[in-house]
Amino acid sequence: MRGMDHRQADMFSYLSAEARVRKDHPLRAVRSMTDEILSNMSPLFDAMYAEGGRPSIPPEKLLRAQLLQMLFSVRSERLLMEEIDYSMLYRWFVGLNLDEPVWDATTFTKNLDRLLEAVVAKEFLAQVVERARGAGLISDEHFTVDGTLLDARASLEEFPAQRQRENHTAGRSRQSDGGLSRRKAVQPDA
C-alpha cells in the first residue's frame, strides 16, 4: 500500500538532537573534550560578566559556534548562523534545542568580540589544541590550507613557461605552459 504524502508538519517531536547524532560521529569526541574544557573555564566566564542586567549569549555556546566555524571553514558569521539554524548537528554541537531561535549575526559577532578582547577565546583554543595534541590528533608532518580562502593574484600570463616547444608547421608555433597551451602567431622572418 502506498503511503500518503501529508503536507502538515508534526506539532510536537519527542526526539532530541542528541538522539539524531550517530554515536560514532567525530564531533561527539570534539564536543566531549570541548565541554570538559569549558567547564574548567567557568570561573573565567563568571569574572567577565556582571551579576545583573540582561543575559547575554552563553560564552560556552559562543565558543562552540566559533569552533564549528573553524572546523568546517564557514566563511562568515552570517552564514554560520544560517547553518546552525537548519543543521541539527550544528544545533546539537552548539547546545541549542531544536525550537530555540538562532542568534542574530550582529549580536553573535559583538558577543564573540567581547570574548576575544578578554583573551578567553585564545585560552579556549589553546586548550583544545593541547588536548588534541595529547590525544595524537595533531601532527607536524602535514599542513592543510583551505585554498578557497586565499586571494589569488596571478594569471596564466604571469607564469613563466615551464616547457616550450616550437612547431613550425603552417607558420605557427605552439607553446606549452605546464600542460596549459595556447597558440601564438609567428612572424615568417623571425
Q: What is the per-residue pLDDT across 153-176, written as a single tens digit (0 to 9) for each?
A: 555 555 555 444 444 444 444 444
105-117 helix and 77-86 helix, angle to the nearest 10 degrees: 120
Separation CA 61–CA 115 (nearest Å): 12
Same domain, 128 and 48: yes
Q: Out of 7-16, 81-90, 181-190, which region has the weakest mean confidence (pLDDT)?
A: 181-190
Same domain, 25 and 62: yes
Same domain, 122 and 175: no
Total number of domains constituting the chain: 2
Same domain, 50 and 92: yes
Same domain, 134 and 177: no
Parent domain of 166: 158-185
Same domain, 35 and 113: yes
Res. 134 pLDDT band, cuts 50 70 90: confident
Same domain, 34 and 107: yes
Same domain, 79 and 173: no
Confirm whether 151 is domain-assigned: no
Same domain, 53 and 92: yes
The residue to which cell 510536537 is assigned: 12
Confirm whether 1 is domain-assigned: no
Residue of 93, 122, 95, 96 lying closest to 29 (CA atoms): 93
For residue 174, list its beta bridge partners: 183
Confirm whether 5 is domain-assigned: no
Give me the pLDDT at residue 8, please.
63
Phi, psi angle pair for 57, to nearest 5°: -65, 130
Confirm whether 4 is domain-assigned: no
Same domain, 132 and 177: no
Compute CA distances 8 → 12, 113, 117, 168, whole Å.
12, 41, 47, 72
Residue of 104, 138, 118, 122 lying closest to 66 (CA atoms): 122
Same domain, 175 and 93: no
Give me the pLDDT at residue 104, please.
94
Same domain, 126 and 166: no
